[in-house]
Structure 1
Amino acid sequence: MMSHAAYVVASYAVAAATVAGLILWVLTDGRARRRELQQLEAAGIRRRSAAGPAGGGK
């Protein structure tokens, strides 16, 4: 049977691992999105928001 202290330590460890995993995922995904944007911009594909106010629209 697990003691109260062991349960609390295990809970904190699982929470810390989950938070660390989410942080790692966000960082790696952000790098991938930036790389993807650089490739698209290098291919001549621009973002609509970069067109400016004279760029068309509504």
Structure 2
Amino acid sequence: MMPELGKYAGAVLSSYAVALGLLAVIVGLSLWRAARVKRALDAVEARQEGKR
């Protein structure tokens, strides 16, 4: 299933590993920020409920 990469195998596989790692970091940061923004929005909405 794996194509023959020859002498470039190390470079190609390490490039894939770096790309996958960066994607994982981006997804993790996106989820972390979404949770932080949701908490902030919930706090604003709770304050709005108290004013009514």
What's the TM-score once normalised by structure 1's chain length?
0.69
Structure 1, unaligned stretches of length 5 or more?
46-58
Give 2:43's aligned residue: 39
Q: Percent identity?
A: 30
Q: Relative contact order, CA 8 A, sep 6+: which one is greater? A: 2
Shift of 1:44: 1.1
Alpha-carbon distance between aligned partners in 2 of 1:38 and 1:13, rounded to the nearest angstrom: 37
Structure 2, unaligned stretches of length 5 or more?
1-6
What's the TM-score once normalised by structure 2's chain length?
0.76
Give the structure with the larger helix fraction: 2
Count of matched residue positions in the alignment of Structure 1 and Structure 2: 43
RMSD of aligned Cα (Å): 1.3
Dislocated runs of 4+, deviation >3 Å: none
Residue 33 of structure 1 aligns to a residue whose secondary structure is helix
